[in-house]
Each structure stands twice: as C-alpha cells, then as structure tokens.
C-alpha cells in the first residue's frame, strides 16, 4: 500500500475476524481504495454490500451482477446468501411447523 498501486486486491481479508474488527478493516480499505480499482473477494456479504458492482461467481462463472439493491431485487443466489447471512430473524418468513 505504500507504493500507491492503481489496483488493490483483497482476497477474503475479513474471513476469520469478528464483526467489530471487520468494520475497522472495511473503513481502512475504503480510505486506501479511493481513486483506485479495488477487487474484493469474499464469502461475507457484509464486506461487499457497499461495492459499486458485485459479481456473484459460482462454478467459475459470473451468475449474477449488480449493486447490492439490484441483486436483492433479483431474488436469486445473492438474495439467498443474504437471507442466510444478514437478514434479521424478525424479517425471515415463518415456516409452518418450524420450532
């Protein structure tokens, strides 16, 4: 980062940390990423939600592309992962017979 590269790549940089540390890292990444192309590879949607464009890759292929809001509206794979990771429990649909 000291060389001020024009492209930054972060590969699952927040995978094994707590939410508070992730927020601090994301804030630092945002500062460093200003005026640079930044590629963030992550399984954690919280690391990607604020990106200009999100590419959902499955089996080595891009299967969905858009902003966070656009991908949620598609109700596809990104939305399913969002529901698993981030959707508040009180907003999840109630399944009959579930305890």
- Contact indicator for 41, 12 with CB cutoff of 8 Å: yes
Does one domain contain both 33 and 60? no
Does this model's pTM top 0.85? My answer is no
Asked, for residue 96, whether it belongs to a domain, the answer is no
Asked, for residue 10, whether it belongs to a domain, the answer is yes
pLDDT tens digits for range 14-62:
677 787 887 887 788 778 778 888 888 888 888 888 899 999 999 999 9
Domain span at 66: 52-90
Percent of the chain whose predicted confidence (pLDDT) is above 70: 85
Asked, for residue 5, whether it belongs to a domain, the answer is yes
Residue for token digits 């000291």?
A: 2
Asked, for residue 34, whether it belongs to a domain, the answer is yes
- Using the Cα atoms of residue 57, residue 58, residue 62 and residue 67 in order, give the sign of their dihedral: negative
Asked, for residue 59, whether it belongs to a domain, the answer is yes
Say what the pLDDT of residue 99 is.
Answer: 47
| Domain count for the chain | 2
DSSP character string of 79-98: HHHHHHHTS-GGGSPPPTT-
Asked, for residue 97, whether it belongs to a domain, the answer is no
Percent of the chain whose predicted confidence (pLDDT) is above 90: 32
């Amino acid at each position: 980062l000291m060389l001020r590269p024009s492209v930054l790549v972060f590969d699952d940089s927040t995978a094994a940390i707590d939410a508070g540390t992730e927020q601090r890292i994301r804030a630092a990444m945002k500062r460093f990423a200003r005026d640079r192309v930044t590629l963030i590879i992550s399984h954690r949607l919280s690391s990607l939600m604020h990106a200009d464009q999100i590419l959902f890759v499955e089996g080595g292929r891009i299967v969905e592309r858009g902003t966070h809001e656009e991908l949620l509206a598609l109700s596809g794979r990104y939305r399913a992962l969002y529901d698993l990771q981030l959707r508040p429990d009180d907003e999840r649909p109630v399944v009959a017979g579930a305890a």
